[in-house]
Amino acid sequence: MNFKLHIWRQPNAKAKGHFETYSVANISPDCSFLEMLDILNAQLSTNPVSHPVCFDNDCREGICGMCGLYINGRPHGNDDGITTCQLHMRRFRDGDEIWIEPWRAKAFPIIKDLVVDRSAFDTIIQAGGYISATPGAAPDARNTLVDKHSADLAMDAAQCIGCGACVAACKNASAMLFVAAKVSHLALLPQGQPEAKQRVKAMVFAMDSLGFGSCSNTYACEAECPKQIKRDNIARLNRQWEAAKMS
Amino acid sequence: MTINPNIPQGALPDKWQNYKESQQLVSPANKRKLRIIVVGTGLAGASAASTLGQLGFAVDAFCLQDSPRRAHSIAAQGGINAAKNYQNDGDSVERLFRDTIKGGDYRAREANVYRLAQLSNNIIDLCVAQGVPFAREYGGQLANRSFGGAQVSRTFYARGQTGQQLLLGAYGALSREVARGTVTLHTRHEMLELVTEPDTDGTPVARGIITRNLVTGQLERHAAHAVVIASGGYGNVYHLSTNALGSNVSAAWACHRKGALFANPCFVQIHPTCIPMHGDYQSKLTLMSESLRNDGRIWVPRTKQLAEQLRQGTITANDIPADERDYYLERRYPAFGNLVPRDVASRAAKERCDAGFGVAYDGNAVFLDFADAIARLGKDTVSQRYGNLFSMYHKIVDQDPYSTPMIIYPAVHYTMGGLWVDYQLQTTVRGLFAAGEANFSDHGANRLGASALMQGLADGYFILPYTLQNYLASHIHDGMPSTDTQAFAIAHQEATDRIAALFSHSGYKPSNNTPADFHRRLGNIMWQHCGMARSKQSLTTALQLIGELSQEFHQNLHIPGSADEMNPALDQALHVADYIPLASLIATDALLREESCGGHFRVEHQTPDGETLRDDEHFMHVAAWQHQGSGQPETRLTEPLSYQHINLSTRNYK
Ligand SMILES: Cc1cc2nc3c(=O)[nH]c(=O)nc-3n(C[C@H](O)[C@H](O)[C@H](O)COP(=O)(O)OP(=O)(O)OC[C@H]3O[C@@H](n4cnc5c(N)ncnc54)[C@H](O)[C@@H]3O)c2cc1C
Ligand code: FES
């Protein structure tokens, strides 16, 4: 298969970026999207005037959350429930033009080309996205029973890989789904109760102060989440938030 | 040089307790004044850094990714072992210990493995307290599954994302310490050099590290009273593996260059169930978790004609009637069936494929079939257990495993070898410790499934916090470590020079000389000549080919861009530059280990029915290699192993 690629190039955070156009030929439909970019980069490496395109990636199997490209107007491209590294060229047609951009959000400044700085997510977790447990003081695991339904819902929420697609998909660049997933995961478990109120307040406060927009309930986040994290978590976050404010 | 594993006195079950009771402690006021560097934020690094921070030490944690949460541990699928015996099926610390020693084919230290089995239960307690959403039964109790090499169900899991959930637990604990100010994070930082100074007796002592900021390219100096290496395994020396692309040996190798011994490099685990290779553009191989072998049955056709028709695509798996299928693991190993250890299952797959019974592409694939499980349990149950793995498979191969058997083939997965450490996880450099997959400690010649997560977390949450304290207790008067020393200046210069040397040929002949090209070529050599079956001849060939590749690499390497910017090609070049000498060391180690054990299979040493043949008389030891300077042959030292608690026997899974 052959493709024409329009890729966002930006040498560093301060520089002005622009689209460059490249072509790649003879790509196998079984090739993954990032392998296609590897092929492009091999081409660019041998050309003294062009530099390979920088993009983040690591596990290449949809779990580390490192990759994330905005492809033809969709975070992680035109398939549901996948990350960019799980997108395959068989999802495109021969001869397609493909527009490739980084996540665009004030809270995720561009570092270089397609690489953005998502450390704001770490800052939100540092504000309270955990249960304080220490190796010396944990009770025997069998003493904590968790009904299967709650455990399953907690796991559904806990699957978030922190890739940032929800922020990139949202017209307000809100981090609501990310925060809601962590708050829900911990609020659904008995172990998470002692810190629940303080957690939701601290995380929401951190989110607001880091430059993420507010949620206007359009749920583009849910539609584009590679782990299909549900909007119900946002409702749960709102309930937690209301309860925390009352106390 | 002699190497001392420093195993505490006492009966095996009492050793760890004895150690803890006699070790030295550091007072809270002094902890704040002691700095510890932790390289890596996977399960081993994040658990160590967070626990050391909780205790009050000043910790600096480093990782390559943009966030600690993305370490390669995140990808672990199947589960984590513990001797809880919640299933009441006869499990115990003693049994987990025995299974692990036997699974490792009697090439691991008894004392370390016993401690690991003891600590396994504490890990589950802690992880549940952290909110790790392990799978539950309807009554609310924790659920378990079985893994290879065990006849009990002792594996705890969180769907197919156990590593992710455990790492998020450790990352949460780490994040809490960052907020409390005890841990400072350095993301997108790569360790390039270990800084050492000689102690009064000449032994090197760790003083800190030199890192490269992966965004700006700047080299930085970081000093500490102790350094922990938790940088993961070196499977990517084979280029294609189940590891994340960024996994590398460079941090461990930097320590090796400075005097840390590297143990058992040839013990590499090749995992039986991975999605087969399909093109030369391929960048990685995807694992299909061992947990699938709980319910999936592995088979190939009984006849070569049928196999040929499958390869041609004229028939599919579903066209083959039951009596034409050879469930070769169930046939050869009736006691363990599809749940034999990984090394055994991988070799059996290779044996069938080499004999002409392979089923897809180039004939390097076998079936993993869920039809019986679906008939027995229903599609819903199967989907609950393995749904995410099935959809991952579907996306990659474009076939639905609910209706067509999966195709799988072995791939490089895990490295049992690594930095040599004593019982305290201290290397032969004083104040330098190694944890997780980066050390060689607990898995002998083959690791059992679900025990890497256990080991990484035991090292980080429960062992290092004690042993580091014991080390640091005698350093409370050292004062703040400085980076303004000659040792730092030298190491800094070494890093600068190494990078400059890699760029020195850029522009010469770019095509086929990128770091990725060399990496692929090196991987091919290793897979062909130092993979699942090794012989004197193949290993000699490997050494020769690696030597030639090394020369070409240092003459022709072309790296685009420069060193003072974000440059993934340079990152890869630095990794490949270390993989090349490592590859030589692996082949040499394999050549000198004239026996077969665990994942190390020398065709010259096998039983008449093709099983591994150990030589306990000559090789019941750890081979620990000492670096002698770039390009020089390394020295092989040995640490004898002795089994007092366990009776040596031939591994038998029949
Ligand atoms: C696909 C897959 C599935 C697996 N499933 C299981 C399972 O079900 N059960 C099980 O027990 N085991 C499993 N394993 C094995 C297990 O996941 C690993 O052995 C384990 O997670 C390794 O953890 P670690 O902390 O030692 O290293 P890693 O998680 O690899 O972390 C390494 C860290 O070091 C950092 N680093 C590396 N080099 C440098 C450097 N030079 N400078 C700075 N930082 C550096 C990285 O950024 C990272 O933070 C699996 C492995 C794979 C590949
Ligand atoms: S590279 Fe890890 S999720 Fe895509």
State the pLDDT at residue B603: 96
Residue type, A217: N
For residues A103 and A122, membership in a common domain is answered with no
**Domain span including residue B50:** 19-267+416-475
CB-based contact, B389 to chain A, within 8 Å: no
State the pLDDT at residue B652: 80
Report the share of chain B in percent with pLDDT over 70: 100
Q: Using 50, 70 and 90 to split pLDDT, how confident is the model at B361?
A: confident
State the pLDDT at residue A90: 96
For residues B189 and B279, membership in a common domain is answered with no
pLDDT at B407 over 90: yes
pLDDT at B492 over 90: yes
Residues 6+ apart with CB under 8 A from B177: B49, B50, B53, B54, B59, B183
For residues A84 and A133, membership in a common domain is answered with no
Rounded Cα–Cα distance for residues A69 and B200 (Å): 54
Q: What is the largest CA-CA distance in chain B?
A: 76
Ligand 2 pocket by Cβ (under 6 Å): A 57-60, 62-67, 83-85
pLDDT at B217 over 70: yes
Residue A198: C-alpha distances to residues A155, A240, A243, B314, B611 (Å): 22, 10, 11, 63, 59
* Residue A13 distance to chain B (closest CA, Å): 10
Specify the CATH number for the domain of residue B567.
Answer: 1.20.58.100
Give me the mean pLDDT over the B379-384 stretch.
92
Rounded Cα–Cα distance for residues A213 and A205 (Å): 12
Last residue of a domain, one of A112, A143, A169: A112
For residues A122 and A107, membership in a common domain is answered with no
pLDDT tens per residue across span B288-345: 988 899 899 999 999 999 999 999 999 999 999 999 999 999 999 999 999 998 999 9
Q: Across chain B, what does the average pLDDT equal?
A: 96
Answer yes or no: is B9 within a domain: no
Domains contained in chain A, number: 2
Give me the mean pLDDT over the B543-567 stretch.
96
A118, A162 contact by CB (below 8 A): yes
Residue type, B570: L
Beta strands B189-198; B366-369: pairing state? unpaired
Rounded Cα–Cα distance for residues B519 and B583 (Å): 11
Residue type, A151: A
Phi, psi of A95, rounded to the nearest 5 degrees: 90, 0
For residues B166 and B301, membership in a common domain is answered with no
User: For residue B642, how many other CB atoms are within 10 A of its CB?
Assistant: 9
Rounded Cα–Cα distance for residues B136 and B263 (Å): 39
For residues B434 and B393, membership in a common domain is answered with no
pLDDT at B280 over 90: no
Report chain A's terminal Cα–Cα distance, integer Å. 60
**Domain span including residue A68:** 3-112
Take atom 44 of ligand 1 and give the residue whose Cα is closest.
B63
Do A138 and B128 count as a contact with CB atoms less than 8 A apart? yes
Phi, psi of A90, rounded to the nearest 5 degrees: -65, -15
B237, B249 contact by CB (below 8 A): yes
For residues B610 and B545, membership in a common domain is answered with yes
Do B125 and A162 count as a contact with CB atoms less than 8 A apart? no
For residues A150 and A241, membership in a common domain is answered with yes
pLDDT at B510 over 80: no
State the pLDDT at residue B221: 98
For residues B109 and B186, membership in a common domain is answered with yes
Ligand of minimum distance to the alpha carbon of A37:
2
State the pLDDT at residue B290: 86
Take atom 30 of ligand 1 and give the residue whose Cα is closest.
B232
Residue B38 is encoded by which pair of tokens? Answer: 């932790």
Mean pLDDT per 10-residue segment, chain A (247 residues)? 98 96 97 97 88 97 97 96 96 98 97 98 98 95 96 97 98 98 98 97 97 95 97 97 90
Closest to B231 (Cα-Cα) out of B460, B1, B425, B44: B44
Least confident of B278-282, B419-423, B435-439, B479-483: B278-282
Last residue of a domain, one of A79, A112, A145: A112
Q: Using 50, 70 and 90 to split pLDDT, how confident is the model at B511?
A: confident
For residues A124 and A195, membership in a common domain is answered with yes
Specify the CATH number for the domain of residue A226.
Answer: 1.10.1060.10
For residues A71 and A137, membership in a common domain is answered with no
Residues 6+ apart with CB under 8 A from B314: none
Cα atoms found within 13 Å of the Cα of residue B300, Cβ hemisphere only: 28
What value does the CA radius of gyration of chain A take, rounded to a whole number of Å? Answer: 20
Least confident of A234-238, B168-172, B251-255, B286-290: B286-290
B47, B38 contact by CB (below 8 A): no
For residues B174 and B41, membership in a common domain is answered with yes
For residues B436 and B580, membership in a common domain is answered with no
Of B68, B158, B392, the CB nearest to A61: B392
Give me the mean pLDDT over the B378-394 stretch.
90
Domains contained in chain B, number: 3
State the pLDDT at residue B122: 98
For residues B385 and B424, membership in a common domain is answered with no
Do A52 and B131 count as a contact with CB atoms less than 8 A apart? no
State the pLDDT at residue A75: 98
Last residue of a domain, one of A56, A83, A112: A112
Cα atoms found within 13 Å of the Cα of residue B198, Cβ hemisphere only: 3
A199, A128 contact by CB (below 8 A): yes
State the pLDDT at residue B147: 84
Answer yes or no: is B484 within a domain: no
Give me the mean pLDDT over the B335-359 stretch.
93
How many H helices and E strands in chain B? 19, 19
Answer yes or no: is B211 within a domain: yes
Do B65 and A64 count as a contact with CB atoms less than 8 A apart? yes
Instruction: Tell me the pTM.
Output: 0.97
B35, B53 contact by CB (below 8 A): no
Distance B41 CA to ligand 2 centre (A): 17
DSSP state of A17: P
For residues A164 and A187, membership in a common domain is answered with yes
pLDDT tens per residue across span B108-141: 999 999 999 999 999 999 999 999 999 999 999 9
pLDDT at B483 over 70: yes
Q: Using 50, 70 and 90 to split pLDDT, how confident is the model at B508?
A: low
For residues B460 and B508, membership in a common domain is answered with no
Do B54 and A58 count as a contact with CB atoms less than 8 A apart? no
Phi, psi of A217, rounded to the nearest 5 degrees: 55, 40
Last residue of a domain, one of B382, B411, B440: B411
State the pLDDT at residue B477: 93
CB-based contact, B395 to chain A, within 8 Å: yes
For residues A52 and A38, membership in a common domain is answered with yes
Take atom 13 of ligand 1 and give the residue whose Cα is closest.
B76
B483, B185 contact by CB (below 8 A): no
Residues of A in contact with B53 (CB under 8 A): none
Specify the CATH number for the domain of residue B228.
Answer: 3.50.50.60
Distance B624 CA to ligand 1 centre (A): 22
State the pLDDT at residue B580: 98
Ligand 1 pocket by Cβ (under 6 Å): B 39-45, 62-65, 71-73, 75-80, 162-163, 189-191, 230-233, 242-243, 247-248, 250-251, 287, 413-414, 436-438, 450-453, 456
Q: Using 50, 70 and 90 to split pLDDT, how confident is the model at B507?
A: low
pLDDT at B610 over 90: no
Of B282, B507, B566, the CB nearest to A112: B566
Give me the mean pLDDT over the B229-242 stretch.
98
Answer yes or no: is B532 within a domain: yes
pLDDT tens per residue across span B90-111: 999 999 999 999 999 999 999 9
Cα atoms found within 13 Å of the Cα of residue B456, Cβ hemisphere only: 34
For residues B203 and B99, membership in a common domain is answered with yes
Answer yes or no: is B73 within a domain: yes
For residues B123 and B233, membership in a common domain is answered with yes
CB-based contact, A216 to chain B, within 8 Å: no
Q: Catalytic site residue B342?
A: yes
Specify the CATH number for the domain of residue B395.
Answer: 3.90.700.10
Of A12, A45, A117, the CB nearest to B560: A45
Specify the CATH number for the domain of residue A70.
Answer: 3.10.20.30
For residues A213 and A131, membership in a common domain is answered with yes
Provide the β-strand partners of residue B238.
none
Do A147 and B137 count as a contact with CB atoms less than 8 A apart? no
Answer yes or no: is B640 within a domain: no
Rounded Cα–Cα distance for residues B370 and B406 (Å): 8
Answer yes or no: is B164 within a domain: yes
pLDDT tens per residue across span B6-36: 999 999 999 999 999 999 999 999 999 999 9
Q: Using 50, 70 and 90 to split pLDDT, how confident is the model at B81?
A: very high
For residues A86 and A168, membership in a common domain is answered with no
CB-based contact, A144 to chain B, within 8 Å: yes
Residues of A in contact with B560 (CB under 8 A): 44-45, 51-52
For residues B332 and B444, membership in a common domain is answered with no
For residues A108 and A143, membership in a common domain is answered with no
For residues A66 and A160, membership in a common domain is answered with no
